[in-house]
Every structure is written in structure tokens, then in C-alpha cells.
A and B are shown apart, each in its own frame.
Chain A
Amino acid sequence: MKTANGLAGLPDMAHTRVRDGGLRRWRTELSILFRIQFAIIRDSWVWVVLMATLLPLAMILFMNFFMENPTPETMVRILAGNLIFGVIVMGLNSMGQEISWQKHQGHFTFYASLPISKLNFVIANMLRGLMSTLPSFIILGAIGQYVLGVEIHYSWGLPVVVLLSMSSVVGAGVALGFWSPSHQLTNVLAQSLMMVVSFLSPVMVEMSSLPPFVQWISYLLPTTYAADAMRAMLLGGWNTGVLADCLIMLGFTAASVVLINRLVNWRVKA
């Protein structure tokens, strides 16, 4: 018996479906999955922007009041640190909790019942993470520049650094959400991680001011490289150090996609 997808012994579906070719089907699938994810942002974008902006903005203002005669470099450090803080709030904390909530509400059952690629679902979630993080990045950059009186060095490499900073952190958040053994645990973990990663790694402060043990741990966090690259870009522009940071962030992003793809065991629960 000839069947729609050539599998003998199964019912013929040729009359019910139009079978797109591999790449076309993959593209359609990703686009539809992203549109569903985008609808989540459409539904709550005001809260998304507020959530991702308020905390880092308060931090910028607080640090501005607190510092006495800071150097321009310090100001750029504060701005870069808070831009990454915004990414951590949204990409790690919020995405981790949101995906965990979806998981424990049984939302994956719907996706698991469809003939879709798990990788596409993961990528669509990561794209949503990027889209939720980007507005706060722009708002914070604009306001921070004005409040701190910092002159940002704009260059072609800035969007690359912004994108990789977001994707490496969002990847960690999405992985946390998919891994989540319980929603309560993920909430606690996401919030603790947010504080640890923001304040006990060289995001707001210099690496040299951290204890050696913490410095070692920092090398394992994507935010260390994101903050370093961001500072360098805002101060002077692209250099080999930024390139190295970008490559490491790309590695973190790729590793997170592979890890998430393994974590999303949505079809067969053991």
C-alpha cells in the first residue's frame, strides 16, 4: 500500500495532508511555532518590558546615587553590567520560570502530540527569549546612557555582541525551564541564580575584586563573557578580546541548544 510518507502498513493520509518537502516543512514548522511563541509575547508585552527594565533601571539609578566621582570607565561598567542584568532577569529568571510553568501545567502534551521537531520547538522558545529581552536592552541602553552621562561607542559589532549575550543567557534559562523537576524548585533556583550570576560574577564588578574561588566559577558562566564583551564594545569597539568572548558565547548558545534538545523528553516520560 502506498502511503503519504511511504510507510507500509499505515493508513493512507495522502487525501488529508499536503506533504511538504523536508526543508519547507521544517521552515513552516519553525515559523508556526515561533508565531505561537510570539503570541505569548503579544499577550503580555507590557509586563515583559516592565519586568525586564524596572530592576536594572533601579540598579542604574541606585549606583548613580551611590558613586562619588566615578570615572567614565566605571560608568560604562555600570551600564554594561546593568544591560546584562536585564538579560539575566528576563532570559534566565523569567524564561526559566515560564517554561517550567508550561511544563508542569501540561502544555507540552499538546506539542508532543504533534509531528514536530523537538529542535524547532526549542529554537522557537529561544527566539521568544530573545524577543522578550531585546526591548529592555534598548530601553536600558537609551535611559542608562542619559542618566549616567555615558557616551556609547556604536559599531557594527554591537548587534553581534547583543545577540550573542542574549542567546547565551536565554539558552541557560530555557534549559533550566525544560529541566525543571518541580515548578517550586525552579522558581527558587531561577531567582537564586539570577542574584548569584549578577552579583557574584564579573557582571557589575571587576573580576579581580572577586575571591579566587568565585573567579573560577565565573569562567563557567556566559554572563562573564557577555559583560566583558559589552564593556569592550561600549568603550572602544571590536577587538580580539571581544572576538574571543563572542566565540565562547556562541559555544554556550550551541551547547545550550544541544542540552535542551536532550532535556526535552516530552514524548516518552520514564
Chain B
Amino acid sequence: MSRTAYEARGISQVYKKGKQRVRANDDISLTVGEGEILGVLGPNGAGKSTLIKQLVGQLKPTEGEVLFFGRDVLQQTRTVAEYVAYFSQEPHVLSVLRAHEALAFTGRLRGMDAREASRQAHELLARFGMADMENKFLKQLSGGQKRLVGIGTALIGNSPVLILDEPTNELDPKNRRLVWQMIQEHNRAGATVILVTHNVLEAEQVVDRVAVINHGRLLAIDSVAKLKRQVDQRLKFMITVEVGRREETETALRPWGIVQEAGENRLRVLVDKRNAGELLDFIIRHTELPIEEYAVTPPSLEDVYFHIDEASAVREAMNA
């Protein structure tokens, strides 16, 4: 049985914004097993990065505690830094260094010897397809290439725990695939991975469990399969409407299920399987609706996320 790498016990973070007290996260409790990949999902401002900063010990929770292999992270910040490689969203501090320097220096600061740090730096740059850019300054590289070097600074040294905040942002599809692949390789070698991502569809292929966070609250945490079961009695309609006529279509479709905006002129409708036929019929018969295109698919993890978020909003409204 695997050990618990991380345990968050009822952590909350309250900030003062003028006279108001804002809760960045609220009573979050979760565990992450050793060797597991946990995906943390949620919209912008949901409190994901706050949670991550609490896990690495850079932010002291207002309430609750975080344990790393049974030790309080705030009492063991140096130990956490020894074992956890953290890739944050903050701008890269090493932009004045050359690509190879940035990686090798980070490796050496993690306690690697010079030769091994340099070897791994070469290897990482080669994997990123940047072997010919080793001597280029980071500031001369493109946004995506800088991002790759940033991810490299987390991967160098094969830390037993990786915490990655939006690792695939700014990357093209090829490099996104490469990064997911490298994360999986580290995990197969025994690393525990906690990653924050917006890219639900890609994360679905990689993560073991998912924590859904919104408004600072943990709405759900479970395996992808179990979470998907919450919506497996449903079908997803992806509907494209005429530009500027999304709202009226949304109103017309609302009786059929959960309707959500999926883009400027796109809607996502989660419908009970038993009613899917009727909705299809409704769309075909009501030709006055400004629907240009529609597709029916089984729900993905992304839909689970929207379903949970919607259900939580409904609960909150009912409680209010």
C-alpha cells in the first residue's frame, strides 16, 4: 500500500482586501498518495495556485495544516524544498542565463554534482528539441521555449515529488504532448505528481485522480473513472449557433438539461440519456432556432468538471 505523500487538513486562506476578508480557499482536506498523479482543476481564480503554494510551504494557511510524508511543511520547509520540485506560473527569474546554464544551475542548487547536472541539462534540452539553443539566453527564446526550460528546471534532478502549476500553458500541441509524456515517465519512475491545469481533456489521459476546485472550495476529489460515472447517464450536445444569438438558444434549451457557454457562439448541453432523443427531435423540428451545427458525444472529464461546478452552484443557491 502506498504511503501518503501529502495531506491537507482543513486548510483555508483568508486575505484582507481593504475592509473585506476574501477567502482564497476554504476548508480544503485532501490526501495525495506516493506515486500518484493528482490533477487540480478549476477556473481562473478558483484557488488552485493558493493551494499549491500552501502545499510547497510558501504560503502559511490561515487555518489548518499541510503534512508532507507526515511532517508539517511549515516546520520542514527546507526538507520540502529538497524533495519537491515546484514549477510556478511566476515569470522566469533565470532569463539572463543561457538555456543550459539555467537547467544545470538549478540542478546544482538541488544538490547534484556538476557533471550530472550538466548531463541532465543536455539531455533535457535534446528532448525539448532545443539542443542547438543551449547557449542562447532565455530572454532570446520564444514564450513556449522559455516554458519548456522552466519545466526542465522542475524535472532536473528527478525529484520524488513534482508540483506543476499549468505546465502546458503557452505550448504548441506537439510540445504539450511531449510534456505530458515526460510527466508520465517521471511518474512511472516513482515520482508523485500534483499538477494544476486548465487543459482538462489532455490531463484526463494522464492523471489518476482529480480534485475539482472552485471559489476556494474542494468540490470533488476522485478517480477520473468515478467522476465520469457521475455523468455517464448523460450525453453531451455541442451546439454551434449563429453569432450573437447564443443567449436565446440557451433559454430555449435550458428545460432539457445543464446548458453552459462553451465559447462565443457555442453551447454545451448535458442531457439525461433518456431525454437525448427528445432533445434531438426538438432541435430538428424547431428550424427557427439559430443552430448551425451540433454533435452528440459521451461526456469527457471536462464535462464532469462543469457538471460538478453547476451542481455546487445550484446547492449554494438553494442554501441561500
Residue from A5, A17, A107 having most chain B Cβ neighbours under 10 A = A17
Please report the C-alpha to C-alpha distance between residue A257 and residue B58 in the assembled complex, in whole angstroms.
22
For residue B218, CB closer than 8 A to chain A, the reply is no
Complex contacts, A10 vs chain B, CB 8 Å: 69, 79, 83, 160
**Contact assessment for B34 and A11 in the assembled complex, using a CB-CB cutoff below 8 Å:** yes
Q: If the complex has contacts A43-B96, A115-B82, are A11 and B101 also in contact, measured as CB distance less than 8 A?
A: no
For residue A20, CB closer than 8 A to chain B, the reply is yes
Binds A, one of B111-119, B123-131, B167-175, B233-241: B111-119
Binds B, one of A30-38, A68-76, A82-90, A185-193: A30-38
**Contact assessment for A17 and B94 in the assembled complex, using a CB-CB cutoff below 8 Å:** no
Q: If the complex has contacts A18-B116, A20-B113, A268-B74, are A110 and B94 also in contact, measured as CB distance less than 8 A?
A: yes
Complex contacts, B93 vs chain A, CB 8 Å: 102, 107, 110-111
For residue A262, CB closer than 8 A to chain B, the reply is no
Chain B nearest CB: distance from A71 CB in Å? 46
Chain B nearest CB: distance from A122 CB in Å? 15
For residue A106, CB closer than 8 A to chain B, the reply is yes
Residue ID in chain A nearest B75 by CB atoms: A268
The contact size tier of chain A is 35 or more
* Majority SS at the chain B contact face: loop
Chain B nearest CB: distance from A125 CB in Å? 13
Interface 1/0 per residue, A24-62 and B, CB below 8 Å:
010011001101100110110000000000000000000
**Contact assessment for A16 and B84 in the assembled complex, using a CB-CB cutoff below 8 Å:** no
**Contact assessment for B111 and A17 in the assembled complex, using a CB-CB cutoff below 8 Å:** yes
List residues 82-124 of chain A with CB under 8 A from any CB of chain B.
102, 105-107, 109-116
Q: If the complex has contacts A36-B97, A39-B97, A115-B111, are A17 and B105 also in contact, measured as CB distance less than 8 A?
A: no
- Number of B residues contacting the other chain (C-beta, 8 Å)? 46
* Besides A10-B79, A115-B82, 14 new A-B residue pairs in contact (Cβ under 8 A), listed by A number: A9-B70, A13-B159, A15-B158, A16-B159, A20-B113, A32-B109, A39-B97, A39-B101, A40-B96, A105-B91, A110-B93, A113-B81, A114-B110, A269-B60
Please report the C-alpha to C-alpha distance between residue A266 and residue B60 in the assembled complex, in whole angstroms.
11
**Contact assessment for A114 and B109 in the assembled complex, using a CB-CB cutoff below 8 Å:** yes
For residue A270, CB closer than 8 A to chain B, the reply is yes
For residue B190, CB closer than 8 A to chain A, the reply is yes
**Contact assessment for A268 and B88 in the assembled complex, using a CB-CB cutoff below 8 Å:** no
Please report the C-alpha to C-alpha distance between residue A36 and residue B109 in the assembled complex, in whole angstroms.
11
**Contact assessment for B108 and A28 in the assembled complex, using a CB-CB cutoff below 8 Å:** yes
For residue B56, CB closer than 8 A to chain A, the reply is yes
Please report the C-alpha to C-alpha distance between residue A104 and residue B74 in the assembled complex, in whole angstroms.
22
